Amino acid sequence: MKKAYHAMNFACEILMIIISIIFIYPIFFMITASFRSRLDFADSPAGLPRTFTFGNIIEAFYRMNFVRVFMNSAIITVISLIIILVIGSMAAYAISRWGGRWANNIYLFFTAGMLVPIQVCMIPLYKFMVDLKLLNNLLSCILVYCGAWMTSTIFIYAGFMKTIPRELDEAAFIDGATIRYTFWAIVFPLLKPINATLIIITAIGIWNDFLLPLLYLQKAEARTIQIGLYAFSGIYGTDWTGMFSAMVLTTIPIILLYIFLNKHIMKGIVAGAVKG
């Protein structure tokens, strides 16, 4: 029995190693291809690089106008995140603390939005943005992202806030604190783990989105970092080494954000598992 148990553990470890290699190899391929010359890559796309060059990274930086597209993506992502987290947390606090039929109906109304794919609303939203004269304006993407991500944000916040004891609110009210003060000074600091989790999930979704900026931000000065990758794809071919170099540049900010928030993300997952 013990031998069978050890054999199963060994088989699981081997399987996990294989799965890890499958997931890691595309990242390894992207990074190595970004430092290869075009001739080297064309000669052996799947092989190891013979020489390393930083020229592709420098060329990609200027060719995709990295500073401009990075700032556009950063503005959209940061402003959208602030609006989503502030409004979503306040709405979830009210829903989780009110209770009763009205709160449950409002909660169901918000969560029902998770059932509607954003692609279904693309044509009406596009016409709406045309009427508001917001095409080629970063505000168009910000508004759509806020509406699209608000439902899942409220759903996650409401579930987490139900684990926070109501006695904290009652003690604050007895001391004369207002609802606003109670939320921002007592409840919101306790949401740090779930805030970190929502920040990384939402930021990745907004930063990596390609469809909405493609529809709403068609001018060159309004393009986001994902649309900037178009600079390496032409009618007659694709500059693959340049494309991979640009992809490395686009992934660095999200990787740094994840590294910075990793500790809080793990705390949020563990806290949700224990308290739920």
Q: How far is residue 252 CA from its own chain's centroid?
A: 13
Of 230, 207, 217, 206, which is closest to residue 60 (Cα–Cα)? 230
Q: Give me the pLDDT at residue 104, please.
A: 81
Is residue 215 a part of any domain in this protein? Answer: yes
Is residue 40 a part of any domain in this protein? Answer: no
| Calpha distance 155→91 (Å, rounded) | 10
Is residue 168 a part of any domain in this protein? Answer: yes
Q: Into how many domains does the chain fold?
A: 1
Q: 212 lies in which domain range? A: 59-275
Is residue 3 a part of any domain in this protein? Answer: no
b (16+ CB within 10 A) / e for 46-83:
eeeeeeebeebbebbeebbbbebbbebbeebbebbbeb
Q: Give me the pLDDT at residue 276, please.
A: 42
Spatial neighbors of 79 by CB under 8 A, at least 6 apart, are 142
Q: Give me the pLDDT at residue 73, please.
A: 94
Count CA within 13 A, CB hemisphere, residue 273. 6
Q: Give me the pLDDT at residue 76, please.
A: 96
| Calpha distance 69→147 (Å, rounded) | 23
Is residue 266 a part of any domain in this protein? Answer: yes
The CATH number for 104's domain is: 1.10.3720.10
Is residue 19 a part of any domain in this protein? Answer: no
Q: Give me the pLDDT at residue 184, please.
A: 92
Predicted confidence pLDDT, tens digits, the chain (276 residues): 667 767 788 888 899 999 988 988 888 888 888 888 888 888 877 777 777 888 888 888 988 889 999 999 999 999 999 999 999 999 999 888 877 778 888 888 888 888 888 878 888 888 989 999 999 999 999 999 999 999 999 998 988 888 888 888 888 888 888 888 999 998 998 888 889 889 988 999 999 999 899 989 988 889 999 898 887 877 667 788 888 888 898 988 888 888 887 776 666 555 544 444
Q: Which two tokens stand for residue 70?
A: 């990075």
| Calpha distance 271→165 (Å, rounded) | 14
